[in-house]
Structure 1
Amino acid sequence: MPQNRGAGGSGPARPQGAVRIPRHDASDRPFIVIWEATQACPLACRHCRASARPWRDVGELSTDQATELMVQVAAFGEPPPLFVITGGDPFQRPDLMRLVRRGTELGLPMSVSPSGTPTLTRPALAALHEAGARAVSLSLDAAAPATHDAFRGVDGVYAVTTRAWRDAIDLGLKVQINTTVTRDNVADLPRIAAQVRDRGALLWSVFFLVPTGRGRRLHELDAQQTEDVLHLLYDIGLTVPVKTTEAHHFRRVYLQRTILERRGVAAGQVLNLGPLYHRLRRELDELGLLRAARRARRPPLQVSAGNGFVFVSHRGDVHPSGFLPVAAGNVRHQRLADIYRTAPMFTALRDPGRLGGRCGACEFRTVCGGSRARAYAVTADMYAEEPACVYQPGSFPFPDDLAALVPA
């Protein structure tokens, strides 16, 4: 969800060109809490992490239990973590507006991530806004109706989504657009970016597929394709506000490109840019996307699984990430703060010294760390090296420049 809240640092000033860090110590409190309110959803999205189904689970957190969860999130202190209600489809819960209103009363910045279903109407969005929601995130996984609807498994979803996008902005809600990228839709990225530019959004979040849930049946990008897309997103960042999900090595790309631009060195001279990058970059140029009015580039935020981020399932299980299906506790029996601060899994994920393979040897490990969810999905070891990264530790030619931007 949108992460435009101040996220500087309470200590020394962040060096210009460095990644952003949350204002408060990530070992003490999360920057963002995502609660999976339900797994019920009438869609059958091909990538669904939750393997959502049409009916609600009788084991979902009750209204009172969900309210207690929000009380515990607010107790982390000021400023409170962002609180995102996701699913499934949150609109399948009849108490959604009540929960949004209660979270707002507790002082939480409330956002909702609905599905593109017939429940996503202008009156429903207006009710969310009236209850206090600040933002919604909507999914757009293809540039054309037929291909998007095929990805989502139901006809008409593209039309519902684009209408809701327009209505949300008109009602005063901030909008984040989410795109899950796979080998099947990667060619659409320039045209999706053009839609984000033209329709307007606070943020475009590009999700890099993790093979979990129904997503195991899709074709994820290989490491070189991932690298190419990350560099493409860096290019787009002067026109469209962009972030990545489960591609933490975008922070490495951001630092590399920043240093090269300061030195006046073309990225292609020293970095590994493959054919997919060049093909997609040509389409960006043809669309005129990079000729648009330039904006300040949005530095990536240093938040990752268990390190500024926590996910609570519909049954109350606490995970470092929604894509990492290993629970560290349950809010029905333990305080969320205790799990987040002291559970061995969470404390270990905040220690870059636990990383193995190339990640453990990498000079970018303290700002990147790789996707622990992808490492687990591919190797069953959440500390293994990032499978979707091509970078060879020590190969960046300007280590002194890097040392000024990367904490030891």
Structure 2
Amino acid sequence: MSTARAIRRQRHDAAQRPFIVIWESTRACPLACRHCRAEALPGRDPRELDTSAARRLLRQVAEFGHPAPLFVITGGDPFQRPDLTDLIAHGKEIGVRVAVSPSGTPTLTGERLRAVRAAGAVGLSLSLDGSTPALHDSFRGVPGVYDWTLDAWDTARALGMKVQINTTVTRHNLRDLPDIVRLVADHGAMLWSAFFLVPTGRGRRLDPLTAAEVEDVLNFVYDMGRTVPAKTTEAHHFRRVALQRQILARTGDDPVATLGLGPLYRELTERADTLGLREGERRVRRPPLDVNAGRGFVFVSHTGTVHPSGFLPLDAGNVRRTPLPEIYRGSRLFTGLRDTDRLGGRCGRCEFRRVCGGSRSRAYGATGDPYAEEPWCGYVPGSFPRQSELAALLAGRSSAATSGGE
């Protein structure tokens, strides 16, 4: 058994080159999403990076080396920028792959999707937070968003674009997750990402999940990985779950009993079975990628400030003054977050810390300390009963890292 089948490693040294760069191109957005990190506003901020500065940012991304990190233009709503297609085309010209993450608004038309596709966008990321208009639109704050999103999804697929569907997991849709997976399976997607809320922006007002509920959902997402390509965002302990489940599958242990999964997991799997989601599970499970805030991931705000994550509002510099590669490689914040020996609490004692590391964004949001323990993880270090099998698996990962393997 190899960790390469349980966890994917980045192809390049994460201390030198991120896997992905997210650019918040604007905070302008007509929606009023209940969880919005940016607390988006109707109008554009005059301090935004203009076209010239945005082009310089793209060139800085290219300077990381070939192949350049994936560059995702998000917002707010990036369609509020009239230079969007010009920037996508410039990225393609200099060898930077560009994806777009628009809001589900009336701007998300077939004409605009064809334009970004023609400009060279390699993919589209859309949010779906409920399987019905009532659930999704109430969360997004505007009626009609559900229909706009599904129309854009189908149009993008027809245009041959890769589509990622993002679902914010909160109490409002916990029991709707199987129905969302059914939609993903029916409409088709490159990837389904379950995003676990970080208490920042408007999201501070939402009722947090318990660690037990999170554990149940993570194991459900793992199960669904045989039906749709699935991952998590801001739930880095999903990598722990993937390792645990791989070991338990080999030893024949019951994951429900061994991991202490609760009633929510049983309810989700029963609903999944009712929907027939596991009848056709034939795909090879997509292993989660070993990425964390500042370690393979970097976020650039609409004003050019650089952060380890969009949900970790600590400032490491500004691309107007310092090139992005210099900030990513050498800032004290980024180098510190890449040092797992600095983790505190249970995260610092955990045998999974080098493949997990917990959500630094959620730790900061809950405690003000980016090195604190992950508040949505209930795992007790050392409690997994198959420690010898785990040690062998982690040793194999360490050898792969030493040899530069993936």
TM-score range, shorter chain: over 0.9
Cα contact 1:33–1:83 (8 A) shared by 2 = yes
Q: How much has 1:164 moved relative to structure 2?
A: 0.3
Q: How much has 1:16 moved relative to structure 2?
A: 4.4
Pairing 1:2-21 to 2, within 5 Å after superposition = 15-21=3-9
Q: Match for 1:243: what amino acid?
A: K
Q: Which runs of 5+ in 1 are unaligned?
A: 1-12
Q: Aligned with 2:194: secondary structure?
A: strand
Structure 1 Cα separation of the partners of residues 159 and 221 of structure 2: 29
Do residues 211 (structure 1) and 196 (structure 2) align?
A: no
Q: Match for 1:241: what amino acid?
A: P
Q: Which 4+ stretches in 1 moved above 6 angstroms?
A: none
Cα contact 1:247–1:371 (8 A) shared by 2 = yes
In structure 2, what is the equivalent of residue 185 of structure 1? 173
Pairing 1:381-392 to 2, within 5 Å after superposition = 381-392=369-380
Q: Match for 1:249: what amino acid?
A: H
Pairing 1:220-299 to 2, within 5 Å after superposition = 220-299=208-287
Alignment deviations for residues 121-163 of structure 1 (CA, whole Å, 9 cap, x no partner): 0010000000000100011000101221111111100000000
In structure 2, what is the equivalent of residue 374 of structure 1? 362
Q: Match for 1:50: what amino acid?
A: A
Change (3 A) 1:306 1:39: same
Structure 2 Cα separation of the partners of residues 374 and 145 of structure 1: 29
Structure 2 Cα separation of the partners of residues 93 and 329 of structure 1: 24
Q: Aligned with 1:330: secondary structure?
A: coil
Task: Let me know the Cα RMSD of the aligned residues.
Answer: 1.1
Alignment deviations for residues 9-54 of structure 1 (CA, whole Å, 9 cap, x no partner): xxxx964433001100000010000000000000111111110010
Structure 2 Cα separation of the partners of residues 216 and 224 of structure 1: 20
Q: Aligned with 1:35: secondary structure?
A: strand
In structure 1, what is the equivalent of residue 145 of structure 2? 157
Q: Match for 1:125: what amino acid?
A: L
Among 318, 334, 345, the alignment partner of 2:306 is 318
Structure 1 Cα separation of the partners of residues 253 and 259 of structure 2: 10
Alignment deviations for residues 259-296 of structure 1 (CA, whole Å, 9 cap, x no partner): 00011111023112011111111111111101124100
Q: Match for 1:25: what amino acid?
A: D
Structure 1 Cα separation of the partners of residues 37 and 45 of structure 2: 16
Structure 1 Cα separation of the partners of residues 296 and 241 of structure 2: 21
Cα contact 1:359–1:385 (8 A) shared by 2 = yes
Among 320, 331, 341, the alignment partner of 2:329 is 341
Deviates more, 1:131-140 or 1:285-294: 285-294
Report sequence identity in percent: 63
Do residues 91 (structure 1) and 110 (structure 2) align?
A: no
Q: Aligned with 1:290: secondary structure?
A: coil
Q: How much has 1:210 moved relative to structure 2?
A: 0.5
Structure 2 Cα separation of the partners of residues 243 and 16 of structure 1: 16
In structure 2, what is the equivalent of residue 130 of structure 1? 118
Among 13, 32, 52, the alignment partner of 1:44 is 32
Structure 2 Cα separation of the partners of residues 168 and 20 of structure 1: 27
Q: Match for 1:255: what amino acid?
A: L
**TM-score, structure 1 normalization:** 0.96
In structure 2, what is the equivalent of residue 7 of structure 1? none
Structure 2 Cα separation of the partners of residues 272 and 83 of structure 1: 39
Cα contact 1:15–1:404 (8 A) shared by 2 = no
Structure 1 Cα separation of the partners of residues 281 and 5 of structure 2: 21
In structure 2, what is the equivalent of residue 175 of structure 1? 163
In structure 1, what is the equivalent of residue 61 of structure 2? 73
**TM-score, structure 2 normalization:** 0.96
Q: Aligned with 1:20: secondary structure?
A: coil
Structure 2 Cα separation of the partners of residues 183 and 93 of structure 1: 33
Cα contact 1:100–1:132 (8 A) shared by 2 = yes
